[in-house]
Amino acid sequence: MKNPSLIGLAVLAAIACACSTSNSIHEHTTFSKADSLTDAYLVLSDSVLQSWNRILSNEIDKSRSLQEIITDLDNASLLSDELRESFQVRMEQLEKIRFTQATIEDPQIVEDYDLAFQSIVDDLAKITKDDTNSLFKYLQDHAEMNRLSYDKFARSFNEFLKENRTMLEDINSNNELDAKPLFHAAR
C-alpha cells in the first residue's frame, strides 16, 4: 500500500500548482488588458495627430497658393504698390489668425479664418478675371473633409478616454489624458 503522507503531499502539491497557475493566468490577463489599452490609446492618439497634420499641411498649401498668385500678379505688373502691400498685410494677418488645435472649438475663430481666406480669393479672382474659386473650391472642400476626418478620430479618442480613463491613469501617468477639441462639437 502507498504511503498516505506521500499521497497527501502529492494532493497539496497539485492544489498549490492549481492556485499558482490561476494567479499567473490572472496576472497575464491583467497585463494583456493593460497592453491592449495602451496600444489602442497610442493608435488613436497617432490617428488624431496624423489627421491634424493633414489639416495643417492643407492650410499651408492654401496659403502658399495664394502667395504664388499674388507674386505672379505682381511679376506681371498687375498689382499697384498699394494693392500688393494690402495683399501682403492680409496674408500676414491670415497666418496670425490661423486656428490651432487649442482654438478650433471656438467656431468664430475658424469662421473668421475661413472668411479672411475667402476674401483674399475673391479679390484675386476680381483682378485676374479668372475662376480662381475653382482651384480654391477644391482646396476648401479638401479642408472640410480633413476637418471632418479629424473630428471623427478626435471623437473616437475622446470616447476611448472617457471609457478607460481610470485604467489608463493606473497604467501610465505619462499618457496625455485630455480630450481633443473638435471643429464641429455640435455635430
pLDDT in tens, 145-176: 999 999 999 999 999 999 998 888 877 666 68
Number of domains the chain is built from: 1
Residue 112 belongs to some domain of the structure: yes
SS3 letters across 31-83? HHHHHHHHHHHHHHHHHHHHHHHHHHHHHHHHHHHHHHHHHHHHHCCCCCHHH
Q: Can you give the pLDDT at residue 132?
A: 65
- Cell 480654391 belongs to 136
Q: Can you give the pLDDT at residue 75?
A: 95
Q: Can you give the pLDDT at residue 133?
A: 65
Whole-structure pTM value: 0.76
pLDDT one-digit tens code per residue, 27-49: 555 567 778 888 899 999 999 99
Residue 102's identity, in one-letter code, is A
Residue 126 belongs to some domain of the structure: yes
Residue 109 belongs to some domain of the structure: yes
Q: Can you give the pLDDT at residue 14?
A: 56
Best CA proximity match to 59, nearest among 94, 87, 88: 94
Q: Can you give the pLDDT at residue 170?
A: 79
Which parts of the chain have pLDDT scores under 50?
Answer: 22-25, 186-187
Question: How far, in Å, CA of 20 to CA of 23, rounded?
Answer: 5
Q: Which residues of 81-98 are buried (b: 16+ CB within 10 A; e: fewer)?
A: eeeeeebeebbeebeeeb
Q: Is 180 helix (H, G, I), strand (E, B) or coil?
A: coil
Residue 2 belongs to some domain of the structure: no
DSSP 129: -
Residue 152 belongs to some domain of the structure: yes
Best CA proximity match to 38, nearest among 181, 153, 173: 173
Residue 18 belongs to some domain of the structure: no
Domain that holds residue 152: 38-171
Residue 146 belongs to some domain of the structure: yes
Contact 40, 160 (CB under 8 A): yes
Q: Can you give the pLDDT at residue 100?
A: 95
Residue 98 belongs to some domain of the structure: yes
Q: Can you give the pLDDT at residue 74?
A: 95
